[in-house]
Amino acid sequence: MRADCNTHFGGVRLIVLIAAIGAIVLGLLMVNHWSPKRVVARQQIALIAALERRSAKRLDRLLAPDYRDQWEFDREEMKLSVLDMGSQFILLTLLPSETTTTFGEGTAEVRTRFEVTGNGSPLAHEIIRKANRLKTPFVFHWEKQSAWPGDWKLTRIENPDLATELHGYRPGDLRRAMENP
């Protein structure tokens, strides 16, 4: 009877040890997966995909409620401007390069250049030409919005090489013009 008891407790100890090691490995994987560096990188990739697809719905999940860019567009105006410019493209590809990310306390700044390719209207080709001539990278400002480790939202996009004067353009103008001939 004593031998059976020792064998039983030995098996239980082995199971407990394996479970403990498994929990530690899983915990380390989760910490790595939810690290700010990885979350912001995933959010940046999701943002590029949303821009390429001209998806207001995807942008909505990425933009902070207090989003404000260098043209003073809020989050709703940003989504409208992406739809306006995106409506000129049949195909749009943004290839990031020279990307660097710096972190502060609950903030991240992603600097990246883009090679822009695509096809569409004459305005689309002009956007591509101008975007590919920019000398300075775009700067994307991300902020952690809550205690949840994956809750990073975009608060601002800027590029000092882009014109700040938009000559009367307001987000939604192109869409409105297309709807009202």
Q: What is the pLDDT of residues 94-149, one digit of tens each?
A: 999 999 999 999 999 999 999 999 999 999 999 999 999 999 999 999 999 999 98
Is the domain defined by 36-179 classed in CATH 3.10.450.50? yes
31: pLDDT strictly greater than 60:
no
Burial state string for 20-53 with b = 16 or more CB within 10 A and e = fewer than 16: eeeeeeeeeeeeeeeebeebbeebbeebbebbbe
What does the domain layout of the chain look like in residue ranges? 1-33, 36-179
pTM score of the predicted model: 0.81
